[in-house]
Every structure is written in C-alpha cells, then in structure tokens.
Amino acid sequence: MIKIVLSENHRRSVSSSMHIIEKMLIEIERTISNPDSGYLSRTVNDLPGIDMAHYNLAIAGIRSEIKHISEKYNLRTEEIKMSRIINSRKSKMWETVIDTTSRKLKGYKEFPKEIAAEFDADIAKLKDLIDSL
C-alpha cells in the first residue's frame, strides 16, 4: 500500500472523523450484543428478526476500512486513559447530583417541605456513592 502524506490540519480533521465513526461503531456493536438495561432507561430490541451475521459482517467491514484509512494516511492512534474517563464521568455525575437537592429544585416550584429532608438524605447517599468511585 502506498502511504499518502496529508497536511497536519487535514490529518487532524480526518483523524477526528475516524475517531467519531469508530466510537459510534463501538456503541452500535455494544448495543446489538449487550443492550443496556438500567432502571431509568433500557434499550428495547425493536428488530425481532435481527440478522446478527449481517451486522457482524458490516461492522467488520467498517473496522477494516477504518484500519486501512488509518494506515494509508498515517493517522494517529488516540490513547485515552481509563482513569480519565472514569474521573470525567464521575465529575459530571457529581455536578448533576449536587444540583438535585430540594433547595436547588425550588426553581421548579416549591419543593414539598414534608419530604425535603428524606429526599436530600437519599440524594446525599447517592453523592457519597458517586464519591466512592
């Protein structure tokens, strides 16, 4: 294969596009093989006759082409530390939980006083659990 040299700006742009495509592909693959099932959201399989062989073949083809483009145009591999992902998600969860106290929710109408203490205790417990990550 002949390698092609792109300008740094073009290489960065193409790399960003390939990273986005690859991340979406990984998300599709995870959704198909292991649908999310949480308490407040769940992935519902509305493709009852899903042809896994078709999807697996298509995913493999896309992966192969991403690899080809990466090698041909000398794109950089991005390394993301797991600790960075965990800490960034933890920070966002912490920020969200802090804004979910009875006092902070008053902007949506007066929070019921009779349940405020219990609600805040539940939110505080969740915050502590997030802190333990």
The distance from CA 56 to its chain's CA centroid, rounded to whole angstroms, is: 21
- Cβ-contact 25, 63 below 8 angstroms: yes
pLDDT score of 49? 80
pLDDT, tens digit, for every residue of 60-100?
999 999 999 999 999 988 899 999 999 999 999 999 999 99
Confidence of residue 3 (pLDDT cuts 50, 70, 90): very high
Q: In angstroms, rounded to a whole number, what is the distance separating the alpha carbons of residues 65 and 58? A: 11
pTM over 0.85: no
Question: HSE on the CB side for 112, CA within 13 Å?
Answer: 4
- Cβ-contact 123, 100 below 8 angstroms: yes
> How many CB atoms are closer than 10 A to CB 75?
20
pLDDT, tens digit, for every residue of 11-65?
999 999 999 999 999 999 998 888 888 899 998 888 878 788 899 999 999 999 9
Domain boundaries, the chain: 8-72, 82-131
Nearest Cα to Cα of residue 76 among 12, 23, 20: 12
